[in-house]
């Protein structure tokens, strides 16, 4: 696994979480979403808002793992290894791939 693949799995997880949150009526999130949409009147605006929050959260976590952002107030570089002990990335690789996946793709 390389940095691009690692980041792409985070992006897939974020997208699945957003899709599932807005598809499920039976979950707590679905119930809260219905209440908010009833007040706001627009599911699309709420979905865009939640998407932005999730994008920021996932992107920040990836940057923190790469050492270019803080994680809980501390900033460290982490070495992420595959099961075989091979590094997923070199310093800065995850940051570059995360920017492309989470921000460039939206342009």
Is residue 16 a contact partner of residue 58, using CB atoms and an 8 Å limit? no
Is residue 67 a contact partner of residue 78, using CB atoms and an 8 Å limit? yes
Which residue has better confidence, 74 or 29?
74
User: What is the C-alpha separation between 98 and 56, in angstroms, rounded?
Assistant: 11
pTM of the predicted model, to two decimals?
0.84
pLDDT in tens, 35-80: 888 888 788 888 899 999 999 999 999 999 999 999 999 998 888 9
User: What is the C-alpha separation between 10 and 3, in angstroms, rounded?
Assistant: 11
Phi and psi of 69, rounded to 5°?
Answer: -150, 165
């Amino acid at each position: 696994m390389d940095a691009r693949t690692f980041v792409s799995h985070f992006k897939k997880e974020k997208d699945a979480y957003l899709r599932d949150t807005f598809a499920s009526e039976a979950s707590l999130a679905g119930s809260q979403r219905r209440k908010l949409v009833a007040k706001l009147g627009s599911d699309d605006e709420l979905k865009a808002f939640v998407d932005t929050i999730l994008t920021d959260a996932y992107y920040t976590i990836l940057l923190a793992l790469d050492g270019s952002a803080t994680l809980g107030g501390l900033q460290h570089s982490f070495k992420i290894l595959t099961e075989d002990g091979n590094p997923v990335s070199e310093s800065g690789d995850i940051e570059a791939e995360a920017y492309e996946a989470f921000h460039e793709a939206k342009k």
